Structure 1
Amino acid sequence: MAESGKKTKAASSPDSKSPATVTPNESDKDTLSLEKGSNAKKFPLIKVMVFLILLLLVSGAGWLGWQQWQVQARQSDQLALVTMELNEQLKRSATVDSAIALTRRNQQEQADLFIKKINDLQLQVTAQGARIAELGSTSRSDWYLSEATYLARLASQRLQTERSTKNPIALLLQVDAILVKLDESDLLAVRSAIAEDISRLRLAGEVDVEGVILELNALSRQIDQLELIEFATKEASVSEKSEGTALVGTEEETLSQRFSNLISEFSQGLSKLIKVRQRDRPIEPILLASEEVVVRNNLRLFLQQAANAVLREEQDIYTISLGGAQEWLTTHFQMNPSSTLLQDRLAYLEKKNIVQELPNINRSIRALEAFLVVRESRIIGVLENDPVLDSEPTRP
Structure 2
Amino acid sequence: MADSDTSNTTSAMTTTSAADESKVIEAETSSRATQPKPKTGLLWFFITINLLLLIAVAGACGWYYWTKLRVDDGQQQQIQGALTTQQQALATAQSELTDVKNQLNNLAQTQRQTLQTNQQAMTDAQSTIAALTQRIELLQLELTEIGGRRPSDWLLAEADYLVRMAGRKLWLEGDDRSALMMLAAADARLADLADPSLIPIRQLLAEDMQTLRQLNPTSLTSVALAISGLIPQVDNLPIYTHFPEEYKPEPQELSESVGDWRENLSRSWDAFIEKFMRVESTTTPIKPFISEEGQWLARQQLKFALMQAKTAALSAEETLYQQSLQRAMALVVNDFDLETTDVQQFSHALQNLIETPVDKPFPAELRAQRALEDKLDTRINALFGKQEEAL
The bucket for the TM-score relative to the shorter chain is 0.3 to 0.5
Greater RCO (CA < 8 Å, at least 6 residues apart): 1
Tell me the TM-score normalized by structure 1. Answer: 0.47
Tell me the TM-score normalized by structure 2. Answer: 0.48
Structure with bigger gyration radius: 2
